Structure 1
Amino acid sequence: MALHIFWPASACLTLFVVGVIMIILKYGPRLFQSRHTPLPTQQEWEEKSYSREISISMG
């Protein structure tokens, strides 16, 4: 069987399909307006979190 002839084309097709899937996973809700309430962005998560100073008392 001449499978060795077709592997570059199948590898390119696989990379293309994986790339499209990654783009859909990352930007899908924005592209297709599929989510009614968007997930918070990283900046919104950081604003919601709080920071406390850590004090260590020895003894």
Structure 2
Amino acid sequence: MFHVYWPATACLTLFLIVGVIMVMLRYGPKLCKTRHVAFDDDTDWQQKAYEQKVSYA
């Protein structure tokens, strides 16, 4: 009997997932404090890591 309802269930699930993604993109910074800026490049992280002092104690 489930074979009759799976297209409607799949469509409802797709709309639900797309709706959640759109809400997170629109209201994410207010609701979840999500970021809207890109991370630094790998070279920036490598330069910061190599500039640290190393102690031989």
Structure 1 or 2: more helix by fraction: 2
